[in-house]
Structure 1
Amino acid sequence: MGKAKAKGKQVKGKVKEATGKAVEDQGVQAEGRGEQAQGKVQEAAADVAKRAKRAGR
């Protein structure tokens, strides 16, 4: 997954978390936090892959 898609997942998670807060649904809030965490991990993995590719030149 690319860095842009990972950032998109983080944004989607923030929106979902905010929606959960607005409607007082802790389950939706947790899903949003989970999506944000997944996006951060995927972004870090994309960074590592990019650095590894550059180092392998």
Structure 2
Amino acid sequence: MKRRSVRPAEAAELLGVCRDTVYVLLRSGQLRSIKAGRARLIPLAAIDELLSATDEVLR
């Protein structure tokens, strides 16, 4: 089964930023996440949305 979400450390690796930056993006609302028990999960679709929004700004 294909993974649909990642933890913040994995998201940081995918985005090429540090884990702290991922938490800043989460707090600012630029990156969506869900809470599952004590775990914070970031849907891969949310990472795609963030990157698409960044592409739009850079154009």
TM-score norm. by structure 1 comes to 0.38
Higher normalized contact order (CA 8 Å, seq sep 6+, divided by chain length)? 1
TM-score norm. by structure 2 comes to 0.37
Identify, as 1 or 2, the structure richer in strand: 2
Identify, as 1 or 2, the structure richer in helix: 1
Q: Which has the larger radius of gyration?
A: 1
